[in-house]
Structures are given as C-alpha cells and as structure tokens.
Amino acid sequence: MKNGYKFLDHPADIGIEAIGETVADAFIHSAYGLISVIVDDSTIEPHIPMHIQIDAEDKEHLLVKWLSEILYLYDGKKYLPSKIKINSIDDISLDAEIKGEYFSDSKHKTKTDVKAVTYHQILIQEEKGKCLIRVYLDI
Amino acid sequence: MIKKIDEYRYLVPKTSKAGMKIDGLIYANDRLIKQIEKDQTVDQVANVATLPGFVGKSLAMPDAHQGYGFCIGGVAAADIEDGVVSAGGVGFDINCGVRLLRSPFEKKDIISKLDELLNQLFKDIPCGTGRKGKLSAGKSELNKVLQQGVEWAVKNDYGNEEDIYKIEECGKIERADESLVSSRAKERGHDQLGTLGSGNHFLEIQVVAEIYDDIAARCFSLYKDQVVVLIHSGSRGLGHQVCTDYLDVMQSGMKKYKIDVSDRQLASVPIKSIEGQNYLKAMAASANFVFANRQMITHWTRDVFKKIIGSGDLKIVYDICHNIAKFEEHEVDGSLKSLLVHRKGATRAFPKKHPVLPDEYKSVGQPVLIPGSMGTCSYVLVGTENAMKETFGSSCHGAGRSKSRTQAKKETDADELLREMKSRGILVRGETKSGLSEENPNAYKDVSEVVEVVHGAGIAKKVAKLVPLAVMKG
C-alpha cells in the first residue's frame, strides 16, 4: 500500500482503502487517494495554504463531507491539495490545514473526473494504533 | 432470493428481505441474470422495495448493475401522497441522457471526409476530464440556463424552435428553481456548459444498419444507410454537486420525518416535504442545464457538418433522460395514480397516443434511444402499451457494465483496441488511452442481448440498429 492508500474495484466505479496509525492519518490518506484518482499527484506543489473546517452528524458523514470538500476544491475552485495536516478531529468535526496550488493545464495532468463521494459500503474501523477507511467514489 | 417467471422476467418476492413492501422484478434472460447476480443488484432492487410509499414493483432493466442505493437500470415509483423522493434514485449524474440527430446524408456521402469530420468535432466540442467549455457562463447567465434549459440555448442561437419539441419535457422542466442550486454546484458547472465530459460519455457518427419496424422508422425519418449522430452526455460537476448537497439535506431530513433506510445512499424524504420539493426543483434546474448542454453540442455538430460536408441540416430525432425523477400518471392495481417515477439508468418508453409525445410521433410512440458500448452498436426502439402496464412506461438505457474500470484497464491494450476498431472501419478519437481502455466493449454486457430482452418482454420494440463510423470519447 503506497502512501497509505490503495484502490478497490467496483463494477462501475472505484473505491479507496486508506490506513493510518490514527483516524487523522487515515482521513489524510483517503484524501491523497482521492486526489490521485483525479490528477497525477506528483505534479502538485504545496504553495498556497487553505483552511478547512467541517461539522457533521457522525463519523461516516464527516468522512463523506471531508472528501466532498476536497473534490469541491478541485472541481469548483480549481485548487489541488498537496500536503494535508489535520489539526483536530473527532466524530463530528474536523479542522485541517492544506497546502497546494491552483490547477494549471500546462502543469497538471488530469486522470479521471470524480462525480461524488458515496456512502456505499463506507467503513471507518478503529483498532489499537490503526484506523482503516473504505469509501467508494462515483466516477 | 429470485424466482424465474418466464423467459424475460425474474421476481424478487417481497418475502425475500425484511422490510420489503413491494415485490421486485428484474428483466433478464438466463445469461444476463447470471451476470446481474454477480454483484449487489438484486439486493439493491430489494432495498428500494423497502422505501415508504413505493407502489407496483421495484424494477431492474436487463442492463442493470450495482449502483449506489438504487442499482443502475433501476425504475421505481412512489405515490405522491405518501411516498418519498430519493436523490440516490436519480443519481449523481442528473439527466445524463442521449440525443439522436438524423442527417440527409448516406454513408457514401461522408465516408471520404470522415477523418476530417471527426478531427473537427474533436476540435470544436470540448470534451475530456475537467476540460473547460468554450464559454464560461456568468452568474446571471447560468441562472437563466438553469431556469430555461433549451429555451435559453435557442434564444442564444444554439438551435431553432423546431428542436424544442423533439426533446423530453421540451428541454425545460418548468418546476426548476435555480435559487435552490447551491453556489458550489454553480461554481462546479459554470465553465462546463457545452462540454461533453468524460467517462462513458461520447459523440458518435453512426449509420443506420438495419430497420426492424418500417412504419416507426419512417415516422422517425430514419432509413437504411442514413448517417446519424448520437450524443451521450450528463450534468457535469453541477448536477453531481446538487445530488451531493441534497443527499446531505435528506440525511438530516430522515431523522425529522422518522424514515429509516437500509443504505444511507437511499436517503429519502417525503415528496410533499419542503426538502423533497426543494430537491425536485434543484434537480429540474440541473436537468435543464443538461438539455442546454446537449443543445450546444448539437449546434457545434451542425456547424462542423456544414464546414466539412457542406450542410449542417441535422434534425433531432429525440433527446431522452437516463437519470431523472418525473411526475407521471400510471395505473396501479386498476386505478390511476399520480406518481413520482425514479429512473436511474433507465429511459422513458411511452406508447403511441400519449399526450406528452411530439405530434409527429403520436401515431407510433416515443423513440427510445439505447447507446451501446464504444464501437459496438446502438438501437432505436419505440415505447409500448406494455411498458405502461408493467414498467411505469420505462425501458433499458444501454449495455450496462459487466467489468470494473480497473479490470477493463488491466485487460486492455488501448493501441490494440484502436487497431481492432480501425480494421472494422471505425475511427476513434479519445482524450486519453486509459479512458479508451476503461470503455473497452468487453467491459460491458452485449447491448444486442439487452435489447432482445426488452423487445421480447414487450417493454419497447426494436425500430433500427445503428453502427458507429466514428467515435469521439471524452
């Protein structure tokens, strides 16, 4: 598993399995997984900071909102995250600092349009010193 | 869990899963049902049958495969009095659909210029991942598109009045309210107006290879060897964000209305609730965006034909939605009911004499357009009375995936695929090789087999078979 995530097969789409020592790490890795579905992530540089604050009703909702936010930053703001740091996270809120840059046709190579983040078979499993996330994307 | 009823029908009895209020019914033959059973489609048909206020049967078309909440190829209808609306029952790609254009040309008239045509289409119609449109709509202009759909496009010279009547809902769902589409959705969509997109979306120059029903074909002005253009496109980031936004609204709404669903992707609220009404108005606005999109692509296609062939006289045969929820009247258990019909990867297939059809088509029925997988074939069918009786006037929408994109990519050499298609006389232009590999026809069910089931079950009847000459992939 490279960079803390791997892709999962789905009949029409794609899933991400992310692992981290903490929930925060697993959330970060799932976001890196999403970004690498959208673009060649090796071309993104951490120039411009962005702050994200999310409130949710439960942890699955938080994960879907978190990844939907990353997707919106790209598809709505044309901003690609490169380095992510989660300042604080619990079951219903998350605060993160991101560094990345705005999308440029000449610099970044897009791979796949992601439509949305789904609740399909969503999983956040926490065990001692390990957190496993599974989430599917509609593409 | 499933019981074979006849050659084309499999029942999912309501006893097969706790909470099912109605039966499920899957249209398939012996071979297709085996493919359908491989993933979670049957379970998803059963889950839909648990939703409050759904009537008749929870249906799956022969191209069905696992989706999110609803299966792709799913059709189900809720009573507007006590039923719910599910954003997942429409899906993220609101009004993903197809439009067929007919030309006055035969294959021999364009074949020498096919390469030039395809290159020009690729140049003039924005496609591919994230690729921006030719125009970036300002806020007020985008709002007009969302309210007016094709009417906006025609006002802005992307077509003519005649086009409007050959589009489902005349290219404008009246209920639309752009103020209920979030600024995020508008941000994602404003520069994607007039773009084809990527994934399984395409534009194909095709030729009519076979006519099965002379009368209907004549009515649709289709004839053997005629060149036609099939456009398959969706709602881009705008529609995807609208679905994301309202799934969130519906998650909270379920607590408020005490609705419990087995899969969060089936989040639903009462049709009559403010949340439900707001979703339907935002969904309608997204659908209008897509109708306008396909109208702009049509306009540029006409321009390209004019530039390269000398005439851009391409007329719309029909334009239909694949992912939509529609208010319709249907007979259920002997009485006429007002229903909200969810079609998720399915087409409307109304019969002759139906009042919403264009006058020219009232004598035969609605054209049902079934795009095949890349480089195979597509079909024109016609809606039937039997579809009204059995499927809320619905039919299949395409071939339907049988292998994942990852698996397709692993098994496909894009260059070999291109060579193979070229040897069959099919030109292909695609944004990326990986995009082409994902759309390898081997990753899909056989569209002809899907169509045979629909035809055999009588929920639409074959009119014409179309084969590709040139494919433009996003």
Hey, what's the torsion of the CAs at B241, B243, B248, B253, to 10 degrees?
A: 150
Provide residues of A within 8 Å CB-CB of chain B: 7, 9-14, 38, 57, 60-61, 65, 68, 72, 75-77, 103, 110-113, 115-120, 122, 136, 138-139
User: How many domains, chain B?
Assistant: 1
Distances (CA, A) of A46 to A25, A88, B112, B126: 18, 21, 50, 30
B183 Cβ contact partners less than 8 Å away, ≥ 6 residues apart: none
Query: Strand pairing partners for A89?
Result: A94
Q: B448 lies in a domain?
A: yes
Residues whose CB falls within 8 Å of the CB of residue A84, separated by 6 or more in sequence, listed in order: A28, A31, A32, A96, A97, A98
Count CB neighbours of B359 within 10 A.
7
Locate all alpha helices (DSSP H) within B370-473, ordered by sequence: 385-390, 405-411, 414-423, 433-438, 447-457
Q: Is residue B409 part of a domain?
A: no
Question: Is A67:A25 a contact under the CB 8 Å cutoff?
Answer: no
Identify the DSSP state of B360: G
Q: B265 and A65: CB-CB below 8 Å?
A: no
Q: Quickly count: other Cβ atoms within 10 Å of residue A80's Cβ.
A: 25
Q: How far is B229 from chain A (nearest CA, A)?
A: 24
The answer to whether B71 touches B35, Cβ cutoff 8 Å, is no
Q: Give yes or no for a contact between B270 and B222, defined as CB atoms under 8 angstroms apart.
A: no
Domains of chain A: 2-138 (3.55.10.10)
> Exposure of A139 by Cβ count < 10 A (0-12 exposed, 13-18 middle, 19+ buried)?
buried
Give chain A positions within 8 Å (CB) of B47: none
Say what the pLDDT of residue A27 is: 98
pLDDT-derived band of residue B415, with 50, 70 and 90 as boundaries? confident
Which residues on neighbouring strands pair with residue B321, listed in sequence order?
B97
Looking at chain B, the whole-number percentage of residues with pLDDT higher than 70 is 99
What is the model's pLDDT at position A91? 94
Nearest to B368 by CA among B168, B160, B71: B168
Determine the average pLDDT of the residues in B94-105: 97
Query: B409 to chain A: nearest residue by CA?
Result: A9
Alpha carbon of A104: minimum distance to chain B alpha carbons (Å): 11
- Report the run of H or E that residue B118 belongs to, with start and end: helix B114-124
Instruction: For tokens 């705008």, name the residue.
Output: B238
In a domain, B411, yes or no: no
Domain range for B242: 3-402+444-473
With respect to residue B438, please indicate whether it lies within any of the assigned structural domains: no
Quickly state the pLDDT bin for A2 (edges 50, 70, 90): low
Q: Tens of pLDDT along A101-134? A: 999 988 998 888 899 999 998 999 999 889 999 9
B204 domain-assigned: yes
**ipTM score of complex:** 0.91
* Average confidence (pLDDT) over B435-459: 89
CA distance B223 to B101: 13
pLDDT of B133 strictly over 80: no
In this structure, are residues B99 and B231 in contact, taking their beta carbons and an 8 Å threshold? yes
Cβ-nearest to B92 among A65, A110, A115:
A115
A96, containing H or E segment? strand A93-102
**What is the model's pLDDT at position B130?**
65
The CATH number of residue B228's host domain is: 3.90.1860.10
pLDDT at position B19 = 95
